[in-house]
Amino acid sequence: MTDWCQERTAREARLERARVHADGKVVPAARVVDLLEAILQPGDRVCLEGDNQKQADCLARGLSACDPARVHDLHMVQSGIVLPEHLDIFEQGIAKRLDYSYSGPQGGRIAKMLYGGQIELGAVHTYLELFARYFIDLTPNVALIAGVSADRDGNLYTGPNTEDTPTVVEATAFKNGVVVAQVNAIVDRVPRVDIPGDRIDFVVEADKPFYVEPLFTRDPGAVTETQILMAMMAIKGIYAEYGIRRLNHGIGFGTAAIELLLPTYAERLGLKGKIATHWALNPHPSLIPAIESGWVSQIHCFGSEVGMDKYIRARPDVFFTGSDGSLRSNRAFCQTAGLYACDLFIGSTLQIDLSGHSSTVTTNRVAGFGGAPNMGSDPHGRRHPSDTWMKAGREAGGTGDPALRRGRKLVVQLVETFGDKLVPAFVERLDALELAKKLNLELAPVMVYADDVTHIVTEEGIANLLLCRTLDEREQAIRGVAGYTEVGRGRDHAEVERLRARGIIRRPEDLGIEPLDADRSLLAARSIKDLVHWSGGLYEPPAKFRNW
Amino acid sequence: MEKLSFRHTTQKALPGAKASAITGVVASGNLEVLLERNLAPDTCAFEIDTAVNGYAEVWAAVVADFVARRQPGGLTITINDGGARPDTVSLRLAQGARLMEMP
Domain end (from A212, A236, A266): A212
A443 and A499 in a common domain? yes
A contact test, residue of B14, B58, B87 with most A CBs within 10 A: B87
Contact yes or no for A417 and B86 at CB 8 A: yes
Report how many domains make up chain A.
2
A161 and A279 in a common domain? no
Instruction: From chain A, pick out residues whose CB is under 8 angstroms from the CB of B95.
Output: 515-516, 518
A239 and A208 in a common domain? no
Q: Is the pLDDT of residue A363 over 80?
A: no
pTM of the predicted structure, to 2 decimals: 0.96
Task: Kindly state whether B60 is in contact with chain A, defined as any CB-CB distance less than 8 angstroms.
Answer: no
Residue A296 placed within a domain:
yes
Residue A545 placed within a domain:
no
- What percent of chain B has a predicted confidence (pLDDT) above 90? 91
Least confident of A71-85, A279-293, A356-370, B80-94: A356-370
A199 and A135 in a common domain? yes
Instruction: From chain A, pick out residues whose CB is under 8 angstroms from the CB of B90.
Output: 459-460
Residue A15 placed within a domain:
no
A304 and A167 in a common domain? no
Domain end (from A187, A212, A237): A212
Three-state secondary structure along A175-219? CCCEEEEEEEEECCCCCCCCECHHHCCEEEECCCCCEECCCCCCC
A contact test, residue of B14, B85, B89 with most A CBs within 10 A: B85
Task: Kindly state whether B30 is in contact with chain A, defined as any CB-CB distance less than 8 angstroms.
Answer: no
A331 and A307 in a common domain? yes
Within 13 Å of residue A87, how many CA atoms lie on the same side as its CB?
Answer: 22
* Domains, chain B, ordered by start: 2-101 (3.30.230)
Q: Domain of A522?
A: 220-529
- What percent of chain A has a predicted confidence (pLDDT) above 90? 91
CA–CA distance, B30 with A422 (Å, rounded to integer): 14
Beta bridge partners of A418: A424
Largest CA distance in chain A: 81
Residue B42's pLDDT is: 96
Three-state secondary structure along A480-501? CCCCCCHHHHCCCHHHHHHHHH
Cα angle, residue A301 at apex, residues A299 and A302 outer, rounded to 5°: 155
pLDDT in tens, A243-265: 999 999 999 999 999 999 999 99
Which of B42, B34, B37 is CA-nearest to residue B17? Answer: B37
- DSSP conformation class of A355: T
A244 and A181 in a common domain? no
A268 and A162 in a common domain? no
Least confident of A32-46, A305-319, A412-426: A412-426
Contact yes or no for B69 and A484 at CB 8 A: no
Tell me if A272 sits within 8 A of A294, measured CB to CB. Answer: yes
A266 and A136 in a common domain? no
Q: Is the pLDDT of residue A362 over 90?
A: no
Contact yes or no for B98 and A514 at CB 8 A: yes
Using CB atoms, which residue from B86, B91, B98 is nearest to A484?
Answer: B86
Average pLDDT over residues A10-24: 98
Task: Kindly state whether B68 is in contact with chain A, defined as any CB-CB distance less than 8 angstroms.
Answer: no
Residue A16 placed within a domain:
no
Domain end (from A144, A178, A212): A212
Q: pLDDT tier at A291 (50, 70, 90 boundaries)? A: very high
Residue A496 placed within a domain:
yes
Residue A104's pLDDT is: 81
A493 and A346 in a common domain? yes
CA–CA distance, A7 with A12 (Å, rounded to integer): 9
Q: Is the pLDDT of residue A21 over 80?
A: yes
Which of B78, A327, A398, A320 is CA-nearest to residue B96? Answer: B78
Residue A360's pLDDT is: 86
Query: Nearest chain B Cα to A228, which residue?
Result: B91
Task: Kindly state whether B52 is in contact with chain A, defined as any CB-CB distance less than 8 angstroms.
Answer: no
CA–CA distance, B3 with B51 (Å, rounded to integer): 9
Residue A539 placed within a domain:
no
Residue B68's pLDDT is: 94
Query: Nearest chain B Cα to A421, which residue?
Result: B85
A197 and A245 in a common domain? no
**Contact partners, residue A470, CB within 8 Å, separation at least 6:** none
Q: Is the pLDDT of residue A315 over 90?
A: yes
Contact yes or no for B91 and A229 at CB 8 A: yes
A 10 A CB-CB count for A203 gives 27
Instruction: From chain A, pick out residues whose CB is under 8 angstroms from the CB of B86.
Output: 417-418, 483-484
Contact yes or no for A484 and B91 at CB 8 A: no
Residue A361's pLDDT is: 81
Phi, then psi, of A68 in degrees rounded to 5: -60, -15
A86 and A36 in a common domain? yes
B contact test, residue of A481, A516, A520 with most B CBs within 10 A: A516
Instruction: From chain B, pick out residues whose CB is under 8 angstroms from the CB of A507.
Output: 69
Q: At A244, which CATH number? A: 3.40.1080.10
Residue A177 placed within a domain:
yes
pLDDT in tens, A178-220: 999 999 999 999 999 999 999 999 999 999 999 888 889 999 9
The full DSSP string for B27-88 is STT-EEEEEEE-S-TTEEEEEEEESS-S-HHHHHHHHHHHHHHH--BTEEEEEEESS--HHH
Tell me if A454 sits within 8 A of A410, measured CB to CB. Answer: yes
Task: Kindly state whether A42 is in contact with chain B, defined as any CB-CB distance less than 8 angstroms.
Answer: no
Residue A226 placed within a domain:
yes
